[in-house]
Protein backbone atom coordinates (compact mmCIF):
# COMPACT_ATOMS: atom_id res chain seq x y z
CA UNK A 1 0.00 0.00 0.00
CA UNK A 2 3.02 2.25 -0.42
CA UNK A 3 1.39 4.80 -2.70
CA UNK A 4 -1.80 5.18 -0.65
CA UNK A 5 -2.62 7.83 1.94
CA UNK A 6 -2.87 7.19 5.71
CA UNK A 7 -6.69 6.97 5.84
CA UNK A 8 -6.82 4.54 2.93
CA UNK A 9 -4.17 2.28 4.44
CA UNK A 10 -6.00 2.33 7.77
CA UNK A 11 -9.16 1.06 6.09
CA UNK A 12 -7.89 -1.09 3.24
CA UNK A 13 -5.10 -3.04 4.97
CA UNK A 14 -6.93 -6.28 5.55
CA UNK A 15 -6.16 -9.98 5.94
CA UNK A 16 -7.08 -12.34 3.11
CA UNK A 17 -10.80 -13.10 2.69
CA UNK A 18 -12.11 -16.59 3.48
CA UNK A 19 -14.25 -18.63 1.06
CA UNK A 20 -17.30 -16.70 2.36
CA UNK A 21 -15.98 -13.46 0.83
CA UNK A 22 -16.87 -11.43 3.90
CA UNK A 23 -16.45 -7.67 3.43
CA UNK A 24 -15.26 -6.89 6.96
CA UNK A 25 -12.52 -9.00 8.58
CA UNK A 26 -13.92 -11.85 10.69
CA UNK A 27 -12.83 -12.61 14.24
CA UNK A 28 -10.41 -15.56 14.44
CA UNK A 29 -11.07 -16.51 18.03
CA UNK A 30 -8.85 -19.59 18.00
CA UNK A 31 -5.86 -20.51 20.11
CA UNK A 32 -4.27 -22.81 17.52
CA UNK A 33 -4.23 -23.72 13.81
CA UNK A 34 -4.25 -27.12 12.10
CA UNK A 35 -1.80 -28.79 9.72
CA UNK A 36 -2.31 -30.82 6.55
CA UNK A 37 0.06 -33.63 7.49
CA UNK A 38 3.28 -34.44 9.33
CA UNK A 39 5.49 -32.72 6.78
CA UNK A 40 3.37 -29.53 6.85
CA UNK A 41 3.61 -29.46 10.63
CA UNK A 42 7.36 -30.12 10.63
CA UNK A 43 8.03 -27.41 8.03
CA UNK A 44 5.79 -24.92 9.89
CA UNK A 45 7.59 -25.44 13.19
CA UNK A 46 10.95 -25.23 11.41
CA UNK A 47 9.78 -21.78 10.16
CA UNK A 48 10.20 -22.88 6.57
CA UNK A 49 6.62 -21.68 6.08
CA UNK A 50 5.23 -18.30 7.06
CA UNK A 51 1.96 -19.30 8.68
CA UNK A 52 0.00 -19.19 11.93
CA UNK A 53 0.72 -22.00 14.38
CA UNK A 54 -0.49 -20.88 17.78
CA UNK A 55 -2.01 -17.54 18.86
CA UNK A 56 0.75 -16.90 21.40
CA UNK A 57 3.02 -16.54 18.32
CA UNK A 58 0.65 -14.99 15.80
CA UNK A 59 -3.03 -14.84 14.81
CA UNK A 60 -4.75 -13.37 11.72
CA UNK A 61 -6.42 -10.60 13.75
CA UNK A 62 -3.17 -9.61 15.47
CA UNK A 63 -1.41 -9.79 12.11
CA UNK A 64 -3.92 -7.38 10.57
CA UNK A 65 -3.57 -4.94 13.48
CA UNK A 66 0.24 -5.14 13.29
CA UNK A 67 0.26 -4.69 9.52
CA UNK A 68 -1.90 -1.57 9.79
CA UNK A 69 0.30 0.03 12.42
CA UNK A 70 3.41 -0.79 10.36
CA UNK A 71 1.81 0.95 7.36
CA UNK A 72 0.94 3.95 9.54
CA UNK A 73 4.37 4.27 11.18
CA UNK A 74 6.45 3.40 8.12
CA UNK A 75 7.86 0.31 9.88
CA UNK A 76 8.91 -3.07 8.49
CA UNK A 77 7.54 -5.30 11.23
CA UNK A 78 5.83 -5.37 14.61
CA UNK A 79 4.43 -7.43 17.46
CA UNK A 80 1.14 -6.87 19.33
CA UNK A 81 0.89 -7.12 23.10
CA UNK A 82 -1.84 -7.48 25.72
CA UNK A 83 -1.17 -3.95 27.06
CA UNK A 84 1.07 -0.97 26.51
CA UNK A 85 3.19 -1.96 29.50
CA UNK A 86 3.58 -5.51 28.14
CA UNK A 87 4.97 -3.85 25.00
CA UNK A 88 7.38 -1.65 26.97
CA UNK A 89 8.60 -4.48 29.21
CA UNK A 90 8.89 -7.19 26.56
CA UNK A 91 10.59 -4.92 24.03
CA UNK A 92 13.26 -3.76 26.46
CA UNK A 93 13.68 -7.19 28.07
CA UNK A 94 14.21 -8.71 24.61
CA UNK A 95 16.90 -6.20 23.68
CA UNK A 96 18.80 -5.66 26.94
CA UNK A 97 21.30 -7.86 28.74
CA UNK A 98 22.52 -7.82 32.32
CA UNK A 99 24.94 -4.90 32.67
CA UNK A 100 23.24 -2.72 30.05
CA UNK A 101 22.25 0.87 30.72
CA UNK A 102 19.12 2.76 29.58
CA UNK A 103 19.32 6.49 28.99
CA UNK A 104 15.77 7.70 29.47
CA UNK A 105 13.94 11.00 29.44
CA UNK A 106 13.08 11.99 33.02
CA UNK A 107 9.43 12.57 32.20
CA UNK A 108 7.96 9.21 31.27
CA UNK A 109 4.79 7.27 32.02
CA UNK A 110 4.53 6.31 35.72
CA UNK A 111 4.61 2.53 35.25
CA UNK A 112 7.60 2.78 32.89
CA UNK A 113 9.33 4.86 35.57
CA UNK A 114 8.61 2.10 38.12
CA UNK A 115 9.86 -0.58 35.72
CA UNK A 116 13.21 1.22 35.35
CA UNK A 117 13.51 2.14 39.06
CA UNK A 118 12.17 -0.96 40.81
CA UNK A 119 12.38 -3.99 38.54
CA UNK A 120 15.14 -3.73 35.92
CA UNK A 121 17.80 -3.37 38.66
CA UNK A 122 16.91 -6.97 39.64
CA UNK A 123 18.49 -8.04 36.35
CA UNK A 124 21.34 -5.55 36.64
CA UNK A 125 19.89 -3.21 34.02
CA UNK A 126 20.57 0.37 35.10
CA UNK A 127 19.29 3.73 33.88
CA UNK A 128 19.93 7.47 33.98
CA UNK A 129 17.34 10.16 33.40
CA UNK A 130 18.06 13.18 31.24
CA UNK A 131 16.20 16.47 31.78
CA UNK A 132 13.79 17.06 28.91
CA UNK A 133 14.61 20.75 28.60
CA UNK A 134 18.39 20.44 28.59
CA UNK A 135 19.43 18.14 25.76
CA UNK A 136 23.05 19.33 26.10
CA UNK A 137 23.60 16.96 29.01
CA UNK A 138 22.35 13.85 27.19
CA UNK A 139 25.66 12.94 25.61
CA UNK A 140 27.52 13.35 28.93
CA UNK A 141 25.25 10.65 30.44
CA UNK A 142 26.14 8.05 27.82
CA UNK A 143 28.33 5.28 29.28
CA UNK A 144 30.12 2.38 27.53
CA UNK A 145 27.19 0.18 28.67
CA UNK A 146 24.45 2.43 27.31
CA UNK A 147 22.40 0.41 24.86
CA UNK A 148 19.35 2.54 24.18
CA UNK A 149 17.67 5.91 24.52
CA UNK A 150 14.05 5.91 25.68
CA UNK A 151 11.59 8.82 25.48
CA UNK A 152 7.97 9.92 24.99
CA UNK A 153 6.64 12.97 23.18
CA UNK A 154 4.31 14.57 24.09
CA UNK A 155 4.86 13.47 27.68
CA UNK A 156 2.31 12.24 30.20
CA UNK A 157 0.97 14.12 32.14
CA UNK A 158 2.93 17.34 31.55
CA UNK A 159 2.38 17.54 27.75
CA UNK A 160 6.00 18.52 27.17
CA UNK A 161 7.44 18.06 23.69
CA UNK A 162 10.87 16.54 22.93
CA UNK A 163 12.75 17.18 19.69
CA UNK A 164 12.75 13.74 18.09
CA UNK A 165 15.17 14.75 15.34
CA UNK A 166 17.81 15.76 17.89
CA UNK A 167 17.30 12.50 19.82
CA UNK A 168 17.56 10.57 16.54
CA UNK A 169 20.87 12.31 15.75
CA UNK A 170 22.36 11.53 19.17
CA UNK A 171 21.26 7.88 18.96
CA UNK A 172 22.78 7.50 15.51
CA UNK A 173 26.05 9.20 16.43
CA UNK A 174 26.56 6.87 19.42
CA UNK A 175 25.11 3.77 17.78
CA UNK A 176 22.27 3.50 20.32
CA UNK A 177 18.75 2.16 19.76
CA UNK A 178 16.18 4.97 19.98
CA UNK A 179 12.85 3.77 21.40
CA UNK A 180 9.93 6.22 21.34
CA UNK A 181 6.63 5.72 23.16
CA UNK A 182 4.31 7.43 20.66
CA UNK A 183 1.10 6.84 22.60
CA UNK A 184 0.14 10.50 23.15
CA UNK A 185 0.46 11.44 19.48
CA UNK A 186 -0.86 8.26 17.82
CA UNK A 187 0.61 7.28 14.44
CA UNK A 188 -1.74 9.73 12.76
CA UNK A 189 -0.12 12.83 14.29
CA UNK A 190 3.52 11.75 14.46
CA UNK A 191 5.74 9.03 12.99
CA UNK A 192 8.96 8.95 15.08
CA UNK A 193 10.82 6.69 12.63
CA UNK A 194 10.92 9.63 10.20
CA UNK A 195 13.11 11.41 12.76
CA UNK A 196 15.43 8.48 13.50
CA UNK A 197 13.57 6.26 15.98
CA UNK A 198 14.44 2.57 15.65
CA UNK A 199 11.41 1.28 17.53
CA UNK A 200 8.02 2.84 18.23
CA UNK A 201 5.81 1.66 21.09
CA UNK A 202 2.12 2.37 21.59
CA UNK A 203 -0.42 1.71 24.26
CA UNK A 204 -3.32 0.71 22.00
CA UNK A 205 -5.56 1.31 25.01
CA UNK A 206 -5.59 5.06 24.41
CA UNK A 207 -6.29 6.82 21.08
CA UNK A 208 -5.96 3.64 18.99
CA UNK A 209 -9.00 2.02 20.59
CA UNK A 210 -10.35 5.45 21.35
CA UNK A 211 -13.48 4.22 23.07
CA UNK A 212 -12.13 2.98 26.38
CA UNK A 213 -12.84 -0.70 25.74
CA UNK A 214 -9.72 -2.82 25.37
CA UNK A 215 -6.14 -2.91 26.67
CA UNK A 216 -3.44 -3.40 24.05
CA UNK A 217 0.11 -2.53 23.13
CA UNK A 218 2.29 -2.73 20.06
CA UNK A 219 5.94 -2.30 19.07
CA UNK A 220 7.00 -1.66 15.47
CA UNK A 221 10.36 -1.05 13.81
CA UNK A 222 13.01 -2.77 11.70
CA UNK A 223 12.62 -6.50 10.96
CA UNK A 224 15.93 -7.16 12.67
CA UNK A 225 14.97 -5.62 16.03
CA UNK A 226 11.38 -6.87 15.91
CA UNK A 227 12.64 -10.41 15.31
CA UNK A 228 14.39 -10.24 18.69
CA UNK A 229 11.22 -8.89 20.32
CA UNK A 230 9.20 -11.66 18.64
CA UNK A 231 11.57 -14.47 19.74
CA UNK A 232 11.38 -13.26 23.35
CA UNK A 233 7.62 -12.67 23.32
CA UNK A 234 6.51 -15.91 21.67
CA UNK A 235 8.18 -17.72 24.57
CA UNK A 236 7.18 -15.41 27.44
CA UNK A 237 3.54 -15.01 26.35
CA UNK A 238 2.45 -11.34 26.45
CA UNK A 239 0.47 -11.74 23.18
CA UNK A 240 -2.62 -9.67 22.42
CA UNK A 241 -5.98 -11.48 22.46
CA UNK A 242 -7.42 -11.98 18.93
CA UNK A 243 -10.66 -10.37 20.13
CA UNK A 244 -8.89 -7.20 21.24
CA UNK A 245 -6.86 -7.19 18.02
CA UNK A 246 -10.07 -7.37 16.00
CA UNK A 247 -11.63 -4.50 17.99
CA UNK A 248 -8.48 -2.40 17.51
CA UNK A 249 -8.14 -3.02 13.83
CA UNK A 250 -11.72 -1.74 13.41
CA UNK A 251 -10.90 1.27 15.59
CA UNK A 252 -7.93 2.16 13.41
CA UNK A 253 -10.27 2.57 10.42
CA UNK A 254 -11.59 5.72 12.12
CA UNK A 255 -8.37 6.87 13.83
CA UNK A 256 -7.70 9.81 11.50
CA UNK A 257 -11.20 11.23 11.67
CA UNK A 258 -11.45 10.74 15.44
CA UNK A 259 -8.04 12.23 16.20
CA UNK A 260 -8.78 15.26 13.99
CA UNK A 261 -11.85 15.99 16.11
CA UNK A 262 -10.01 15.30 19.39
CA UNK A 263 -7.40 17.86 18.34
CA UNK A 264 -9.97 20.49 17.26
CA UNK A 265 -11.80 20.13 20.57
CA UNK A 266 -8.58 20.12 22.62
CA UNK A 267 -7.30 23.30 20.99
CA UNK A 268 -10.63 25.02 21.76
CA UNK A 269 -10.44 23.87 25.40
CA UNK A 270 -6.81 25.03 25.64
CA UNK A 271 -7.66 28.46 24.22
CA UNK A 272 -10.61 28.81 26.59
CA UNK A 273 -8.46 27.91 29.61
CA UNK A 274 -5.69 30.27 28.53
CA UNK A 275 -8.15 33.16 28.62
CA UNK A 276 -9.54 32.24 32.08
CA UNK A 277 -8.51 34.33 35.10
CA UNK A 278 -8.48 31.35 37.52
CA UNK A 279 -5.88 29.53 35.47
CA UNK A 280 -2.14 30.12 35.96
CA UNK A 281 -0.87 28.39 32.84
CA UNK A 282 -2.00 26.03 30.08
CA UNK A 283 0.14 23.54 28.19
CA UNK A 284 -0.92 22.25 24.81
CA UNK A 285 1.56 21.54 21.99
CA UNK A 286 -0.27 23.63 19.40
CA UNK A 287 -0.76 26.70 21.61
CA UNK A 288 1.73 29.41 20.63
CA UNK A 289 2.59 29.79 24.32
CA UNK A 290 3.90 26.20 24.54
CA UNK A 291 7.69 26.41 25.05
CA UNK A 292 8.24 23.83 22.27
CA UNK A 293 5.55 25.09 19.88
CA UNK A 294 7.93 25.22 16.90
CA UNK A 295 9.17 21.68 17.51
CA UNK A 296 5.61 20.43 17.93
CA UNK A 297 4.72 22.02 14.58
CA UNK A 298 7.74 20.38 12.96
CA UNK A 299 7.05 16.83 14.13
CA UNK A 300 3.28 16.66 14.75
CA UNK A 301 0.29 17.12 12.48
CA UNK A 302 -1.82 18.57 15.35
CA UNK A 303 -1.57 18.90 19.13
CA UNK A 304 -3.25 15.71 20.40
CA UNK A 305 -6.08 15.21 22.89
CA UNK A 306 -4.43 16.13 26.19
CA UNK A 307 -4.36 19.59 27.76
CA UNK A 308 -2.60 20.30 31.06
CA UNK A 309 -3.24 23.41 33.12
CA UNK A 310 -2.68 24.79 36.60
CA UNK A 311 -5.45 26.19 38.72
CA UNK A 312 -4.75 29.13 40.97
CA UNK A 313 -5.06 27.91 44.57
CA UNK A 314 -3.14 24.61 44.37
CA UNK A 315 -4.36 21.31 45.79
CA UNK A 316 -7.50 22.76 47.39
CA UNK A 317 -8.65 24.46 44.21
CA UNK A 318 -7.91 21.22 42.34
CA UNK A 319 -10.11 19.18 44.66
CA UNK A 320 -12.93 21.72 44.49
CA UNK A 321 -12.73 21.71 40.69
CA UNK A 322 -13.01 17.93 40.65
CA UNK A 323 -15.99 17.87 42.97
CA UNK A 324 -17.77 20.37 40.72
CA UNK A 325 -17.25 18.58 37.41
CA UNK A 326 -20.52 17.08 36.14
CA UNK A 327 -20.19 15.89 32.53
CA UNK A 328 -16.51 15.00 32.28
CA UNK A 329 -15.39 11.72 33.84
CA UNK A 330 -13.00 11.43 36.77
CA UNK A 331 -10.99 8.51 35.48
CA UNK A 332 -7.42 7.41 34.81
CA UNK A 333 -7.67 6.73 31.07
CA UNK A 334 -7.04 9.08 28.14
CA UNK A 335 -7.70 9.16 24.43
CA UNK A 336 -11.32 8.10 25.01
CA UNK A 337 -14.39 9.46 23.20
CA UNK A 338 -15.49 10.66 26.67
CA UNK A 339 -13.59 13.62 28.11
CA UNK A 340 -11.66 12.75 31.26
CA UNK A 341 -10.12 14.92 33.98
CA UNK A 342 -7.37 13.79 36.33
CA UNK A 343 -5.47 15.45 39.15
CA UNK A 344 -1.99 13.85 39.06
CA UNK A 345 -0.75 15.24 42.43
CA UNK A 346 -3.50 13.53 44.46
CA UNK A 347 -3.87 10.38 42.33
CA UNK A 348 -1.46 8.88 39.76
CA UNK A 349 1.62 10.62 41.18
CA UNK A 350 0.62 10.82 44.88
CA UNK A 351 3.28 8.23 45.83
CA UNK A 352 6.09 10.52 44.66
CA UNK A 353 7.50 13.23 46.93
CA UNK A 354 6.61 16.81 46.06
CA UNK A 355 10.17 17.33 44.78
CA UNK A 356 9.93 14.27 42.53
CA UNK A 357 6.59 15.53 41.23
CA UNK A 358 7.98 18.98 40.49
CA UNK A 359 10.93 17.38 38.66
CA UNK A 360 8.34 15.75 36.38
CA UNK A 361 6.54 19.07 35.95
CA UNK A 362 3.61 18.16 38.19
CA UNK A 363 2.50 20.97 40.49
CA UNK A 364 -0.22 20.63 43.16
CA UNK A 365 -2.78 22.58 41.17
CA UNK A 366 -2.09 20.84 37.88
CA UNK A 367 -5.04 19.25 36.09
CA UNK A 368 -4.90 17.03 33.01
CA UNK A 369 -7.82 16.87 30.62
CA UNK A 370 -8.10 14.24 27.93
CA UNK A 371 -10.47 16.06 25.60
CA UNK A 372 -13.03 13.71 24.07
CA UNK A 373 -15.47 13.79 21.20
CA UNK A 374 -18.50 15.36 22.90
CA UNK A 375 -19.43 18.76 21.44
CA UNK A 376 -16.77 21.28 22.40
CA UNK A 377 -19.43 23.73 23.68
CA UNK A 378 -20.58 21.17 26.26
CA UNK A 379 -17.04 20.25 27.31
CA UNK A 380 -16.10 23.90 27.80
CA UNK A 381 -19.37 24.71 29.62
CA UNK A 382 -18.70 21.93 32.14
CA UNK A 383 -15.13 23.11 32.76
CA UNK A 384 -16.32 26.70 33.07
CA UNK A 385 -19.00 25.96 35.69
CA UNK A 386 -16.47 23.93 37.72
CA UNK A 387 -13.75 26.58 37.81
CA UNK A 388 -13.57 28.08 41.31
C1 LIG B 1 -1.12 4.30 29.19
C2 LIG B 1 0.29 4.46 28.77
C3 LIG B 1 1.16 3.36 28.74
C4 LIG B 1 0.77 1.99 29.22
O5 LIG B 1 -0.25 1.41 28.49
P6 LIG B 1 -1.28 0.33 29.09
O7 LIG B 1 -2.04 -0.08 27.88
O8 LIG B 1 -2.09 1.02 30.13
O9 LIG B 1 -0.46 -0.77 29.66
C10 LIG B 1 2.46 3.59 28.30
N11 LIG B 1 2.86 4.81 27.91
C12 LIG B 1 2.06 5.88 27.92
C13 LIG B 1 2.57 7.20 27.47
C14 LIG B 1 0.74 5.75 28.34
O15 LIG B 1 -0.06 6.82 28.38
Q: Give the mean pLDDT of 213-227.
A: 98
Average of per-residue pLDDT across 142-171: 96
| Nearest of 211, 191, 306, 197 to residue 255 by alpha carbon | 211
What integer pLDDT is reported at residue 1 of this predicted model? Answer: 72
Half-sphere exposure of 272 (CA within 13 A, CB side): 20
Ligand 1 atom with the smallest distance to the CA of 333 is 1
Distance 85 CA to ligand 1 centre (A): 6
Per residue in 285-302, pLDDT tens? 999 999 999 999 999 999
In CATH terms, 6-254 corresponds, of 3.40.640.10, 3.40.50.2000, 1.20.140.10, 3.40.50.150, to 3.40.640.10
Q: What is the pTM of this model?
A: 0.96
Compute, in degrees rounded to 10, the torsion defined by CA atoms 259, 110, 310, 377: 30
Mean pLDDT of 159-164: 96
**What is the CATH class of 255-386?**
alpha beta
- pLDDT beyond 90 at 355: no
State the pLDDT confidence band at 2, using cuts at 50, 70 and 90: confident
Q: What's the pLDDT tens digit per position in 89-129?
A: 999 999 999 999 999 999 999 899 999 999 999 999 999 99
What pLDDT score was predicted for residue 354?
A: 84
Q: What is the CA radius of gyration of the chain?
A: 21
Nearest ligand 1 atom to the CA of 85 is: 9
Instruction: With a cut of 90, say whether residue 224 has pLDDT above it.
Output: yes
Distance of CA 83 from the midpoint of ligand 1 (Å) = 8
Choice from 85, 110, 213, 308 to test ligand 1 binding pocket (greatest atom count within 8 A of CB): 85
Contact (CB, 8 A) for 229 and 201: no
Cα–Cα distances in Å, from 85 out to 110, 252, 388? 10, 20, 36
Residue ranges of domains in the chain: 6-254, 255-386
> What residue owns the CA closest to ligand 1's atom 8?
84
* pLDDT at position 28 over 90: yes
Between residues 245 and 134, which one has the greater pLDDT? 245
Give the separation between CA 210 and CA 387, rounded to whole angstroms: 27
Cα 148 to middle of ligand 1, angstroms: 20
Contact at 8 Å (CB) between 147 and 101? yes
pLDDT > 80? residue 356: no
| Distance from the alpha carbon of residue 109 to the mean position of ligand 1, in angstroms | 7
Amino acid sequence: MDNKKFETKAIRTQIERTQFLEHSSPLYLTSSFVFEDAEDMRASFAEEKDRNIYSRYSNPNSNEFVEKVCEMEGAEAGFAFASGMAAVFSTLAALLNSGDHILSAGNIFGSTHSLFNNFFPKWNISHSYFPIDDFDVIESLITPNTKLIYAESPTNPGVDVLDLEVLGGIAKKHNLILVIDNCFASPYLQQPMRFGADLVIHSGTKLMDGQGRVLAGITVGSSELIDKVYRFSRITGPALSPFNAWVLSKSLETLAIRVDRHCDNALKVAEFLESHEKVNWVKYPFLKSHPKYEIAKKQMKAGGCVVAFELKGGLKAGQKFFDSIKLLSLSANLGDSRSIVTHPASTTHSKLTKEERLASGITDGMVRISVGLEHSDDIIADIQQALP
